[in-house]
Every structure is written in C-alpha cells, then in structure tokens.
Amino acid sequence: MSKQTKEFDHLKSVDEEQLPVGKNKLKDWTHFAGLYAAEHVAATEFVIGATFVALGAKTSDIILGLLIGNILAVLSWRFITSPIAVETRLSLYTYLNKIAGDSMTKLYNWANVIIFSVISAAMITVSSTAVRFAFDIPAQLNWYPTNAWFVLIVLAVGIVVVSIALYGFNAVSEFSGLCAPWLFVMFTGGAMVLLPALSLDVLDKTIPSNWADFMTLGNQSIWTGINSDGETGIGLVEVIGFGWAANTITHFGLVDMALLRFAKKKNYAYASSTGMMFGHYVAWIAAGIMGAGAAVILGKSIVELDPGDVAYYALGWSGFVIVIVAGWTTAITNLYRAGLAAQAIFSNHSRKKTTIVVGLVTVTIACFPFVFSQILPLLTYAGLLVVPVGAIVFTEHQIFPRIGFTRYWSSYRKLKFSMPAVASWGLGLVFGFGLQALDVISFYYLFIPTWFFTIAMYTFLASRYGAKDSYTEEVKEEALRAETIKRFQEQQAAQEDVQVKDTSMFSKALKFLAISALVASLALACNVMFGSATEAEYIDNRQLFYTYTFICTILYFVLAYWALRRGKIKNATI
C-alpha cells in the first residue's frame, strides 16, 4: 500500500456528503436554472395565487410588488447564501457542526428534517389531488383520509418522489431541468386560455383592448384590493415582503448551501431568478388569472377551488399533469434536503438510507390532507425558526475574519456544545416571535431585524467564549486537512469515467422536436387568447387547446427524456 493511499484511508470511510464538494462534481449555471425553475414553479403557486386574492391585494401592487420582492430574493441568494456555499463547498448541516457543536447541530437538523418532510408531504398531497380529480375520488376535506383509494394514490405518487430523491443532486437537477421548460409553458398558457373567460365576464369582450382594460379586469375580478372579510387588503409594502420572505428558509436561512455548494461560481446564484421571476412572479400572477377564470366558469369563489379544479379548466388533461409534476419537483428537492439533514444526524449511515427512512415518514404524513391546507403558515413560521441559524453561520464565516475573530473557533476548542450559538438561536427566536406578538412591524419583514439581532448576539457571546483567541496550530491543521481532502478528491476524480457531452445529430433532433412541442402548445394558447373574436370561437379554441396541448405534453416528455437517456448511455460507453 502506497504512502498516499494510507494518507487517504481515514477519508474513505467518510460519506461524501460530509466532505466539501470535489472540483469534478461542480455544475454549470444551467443545472441551477433548471433546479430553481422547477422547484419554484410548483403546485403551491395555485394556492398562493388564490392567497393574494383572499388577502385583498391590488393589481398594481401585485405587478410591481412581486417584481421588487422577487428581485430582493435573488440578490439574497447571490450575496448571502452563494458566497459561503462556494467558498466552503459544504452544506449548512455540515458547516453548522463545525461551528456550533454536535448538540445544537442535531437539534437544528431535526427541525429541518421535520420542516422539509412536511413541505415535501404537502406537495405529494397536492399531486395526489390531481389524480383524485381524474378518477372522481371524493375531495379530502378532513384532517385524515376518508378514502382508501386516495391513500393508495398518495403511496404511488410518493414512491416516485422518494425514488428520484434517492439518487442525489444529479437526479434532482436532471428531473427538474426536464420539467422546467414545460412548467413555464403550462402556467403561461393556462393564464392565456382563461383570460378571455374573465374578460367576457367583466368587459363583455374576449380580450382587453389595452393596459387600462387589463387593469380594470384585474381590479374588478382578481386582485380587487378587498380581502375575504370585505375589508381593505394588503398594500405594496406587504406584497414586496411576501415575495422576499417566501424563501427566507433557503436564502437568509442558508439551507440552499446544500444546492449552491455545487456551483462553479458565486454568480450562478443568479440562476435562482428562473424560479423567482418565472416561478414566483409569472406563475403567481398566472395562477391568480387561472383561479379567477376557473371560478367564473364554475360559478364559485377562487378561494373555494383546489389546484385540480383550477388546472383542469385552464389546461384540460394537461392540468392533471401539471399539478402532479409541479408537486413532484418541489417534493423531490425538499426530500433531498430532509435526507441531507437526517444524514448529518445519523452520520454513520449513508444519505440514501436516511432518505429512504425520511421518505417513508413523509409519504405517511402526505396521507393526511390537513398538511397541505396549513402549508403557508408552516412556511412562514419555518422561515422565522431558521433565519437565526443562518445569521450565526453568516457571522462566523463573513464577519469574524473581518473583525479579527477566529473562524471555526468552537471546533478548535473541541466543544460539543456551543453556548454562544445555542443562546443566540434561542434569543433570536424570542426576539422574532416577540416582535410578532407586539405587532411592531409587518410579519413578512420580521426576518430582517431578527437576522441582525442574532448577528449582534452571536458576535458578543462568541467574543466572551473564545472567538477572539488565537489558534495558530489549529488553523494550520485545518488548512492541511483541506489540502489532503483536495488531493483525495483529485485522486478519486482521476479514477472516474470521463463525461462526454452528447452532440449527435439524432439527439439534437430529439431536443428540437421536444422544444417544438412546447412552442406548439404556446401557439395554441395564443390562438385561444388572440384568435377568439366571439364567445363561441373562444369555447371552440379552448377545446382545441385542451386536446392538442395534451398530445404535445406527452410528446415533449417522451422526446426530452429520450434525449436525456441517450446522453447518459453515451457517457457510460465512453
């Protein structure tokens, strides 16, 4: 056995998820564009679209406020999450263990397992509602399931989610990248298909003539400025906060270090704009239009509809597919995160094993419909729970080196329990929820003062417990370990098969035909919106869209998946 091989022996037994991502594992921006697009164009967009209606937002506030809020979210990923993820190549769970000790890390990871398992379960339930609608299974309105077939559907949908999440980041990003372009087209097309129904109801014509007509349409039938209680609703500031705060778990809370650690460059965090601009901005607006249009057709209030109702009247049979796929893409990503958190707790087990166990629990939770109905309060409170921990990590990594403190001081002192970290987290929670109880500022902005408060607390407490001390020898050992890991990963990379991009003409033709199917779907939607002079023509064109878009949907997934598989086969044979 060579000297170098012996040097690496202790690293071979460490799960790769607990090591920095190797250079050979890094991904380009397209992976993140697809990943964020698919995760944030989700089945929950149907619910959030209705939520803005129930909260009483105005049309102008929705258009401007969501734009500003989602831009702020993209900048948060770029300047808060991405620098730490790219510089360390670690997930938040592994990094936190280095600076906060094993006890706090396990407590925090348990919280993440629960949060992301429940989010994933809610998305599985949403996907199952579409299948329920297709097979005429009664709506599940209680907190528990009332139909055995619904439970079987949840189990079937859940198996797909767990199976994809098992294969790690590559499988998650590939599945997301496959679904993202189609999801864009479906949300946009669905809004175009149902806008004439709204226009006929409000303006007595199939399409608004100008921007003023569109604003009138929005103000009278979608975002009226009056909430569900008949009172004046939320304004521009609240809409901006809603858009920014919707993903505080992943950007200010740093949970997306798990994804962005694979990015070649920090700027790849801007790829999150595919999820924010097309997903949260376009999809939330489109979902509002689709919900209002479906409500007009059914003669109900938008808040009474479930995703299956809205999707069916917007997209026909393709609507069933979009609810299923949109639920899957979000569920898979969150189950992957939950598996990582569980693996950080049970470090002697592989991520696949922990993901299987977490997946089984998640699918069981998904059988209970109350999970989905409470998803928005869960996301809001989960964000406030996680943000103080993100502040602690941000302080350790970005602030300490700039003020003369030592990064990783807790691990150098071999502390199993970091009092400054635990106390700062607890004080941050008391501060954040205290502000909420006092109703000092809008709930959507609580994460900002909570973040700064936790930074101040952690800096002060860490200075009292040893962060200001010098750890010269320990720092040298840390640098040596990092260099050893780098050489170990280079050795591992040299033994891997070379990945060659598939540039064959046949694969290019498959991709071209797949994209053509999407273009055809969009053209059919344009025909409904712009080619329907009368109500009768609108109904005929809408039916045409339903039929042929479903055919295009099948063609897209068959052709796109075929092209993806060809690339894998080619790489396997090189």
In this structure, what token pair is assigned to residue 185? Answer: 């087209």
The last residue of a domain, from among 373, 400, 422: 373
Q: Where are the alpha helices (DSSP H) in 21-91?
A: 29-40, 44-55, 59-76, 82-88
Same domain, 473 and 518: no
Same domain, 357 and 506: no
Same domain, 400 and 279: no
Same domain, 556 and 475: no
The last residue of a domain, from among 496, 528, 545: 496
573: confidence class by pLDDT, cuts 50, 70, 90:
very low
Residue with the bigger pLDDT between 571 and 363: it is 363
Q: What is the pLDDT of residues 474-524, one digit of tens each?
A: 888 888 887 877 777 777 766 666 666 667 888 889 889 999 999 999 999
Report the pLDDT averaged over residues 457-463: 95
Q: Confirm whether 420 is domain-assigned.
A: yes
Q: Is the pLDDT confidence value at 214 over 50?
A: yes
Q: What is the pLDDT of residues 325-356, one digit of tens each?
A: 777 777 777 787 788 778 777 777 777 788 88
Angle between helices 168-202 and 284-298 (to 10 degrees): 50
Same domain, 513 and 384: no
Least confident interval from 75-79, 307-311, 393-397, 567-571: 567-571
Report the pLDDT averaged over residues 558-572: 73
Residue with the bigger pLDDT between 2 and 143: it is 143
Residue with the bigger pLDDT between 88 and 34: it is 88
Neighbours of 376 (CB within 10 A): 15
- What confidence score (pLDDT) does residue 572 get? 45
Backbone φ/ψ region at 90: left (φ over 0), alpha (ψ -120 to 50), beta: beta
Phi, psi of 58 (to 5 degrees): -90, 155
Helix (H, G, I), strand (E, B) or coil at 317: helix
For residue 480, give its domain range: 377-496
Q: Confirm whether 359 is domain-assigned.
A: yes
Angle at 37 between CA 31 and CA 39, to 5 degrees: 100
Same domain, 345 and 391: no
Q: What is the pLDDT of residues 422-436, one digit of tens each?
A: 999 999 999 998 998
Q: Confirm whether 252 is domain-assigned.
A: yes
Q: Confirm whether 338 is domain-assigned.
A: yes
Q: What is the pLDDT of residues 238-292, one digit of tens each?
A: 999 988 988 888 899 998 998 899 999 999 999 999 889 887 888 888 888 888 8
- What confidence score (pLDDT) does residue 493 get? 65
d(CA 97, CA 455) in angstroms, rounded, equals 18
Same domain, 205 and 353: yes
Q: Confirm whether 16 is domain-assigned.
A: no
Sign of CA dihedral 504, 505, 511, 514: negative
- What confidence score (pLDDT) does residue 574 get? 41
Name 352's Cβ contacts closer than 8 Å, sequence gap at least 6: 166, 339
CATH number at residue 84: 1.10.4160.10
The last residue of a domain, from among 480, 496, 512: 496
Same domain, 135 and 233: yes
Same domain, 283 and 428: no
- Report the number of distinct structural domains present in the chain: 3
Same domain, 68 and 180: yes
In this structure, what token pair is assigned to residue 329? Answer: 């893409």
Mean pLDDT of the residues in the chain: 82
Q: Confirm whether 364 is domain-assigned.
A: yes
DSSP state, 492?
Answer: H
Q: Confirm whether 11 is domain-assigned.
A: no
Same domain, 509 and 489: no
- CA of 211: how far to CAs of 49, 216, 452, 487, 548, in Å? 21, 9, 41, 60, 30
Q: Confirm whether 9 is domain-assigned.
A: no
Q: Whole-model pTM above 0.85?
A: no
Same domain, 121 and 45: yes
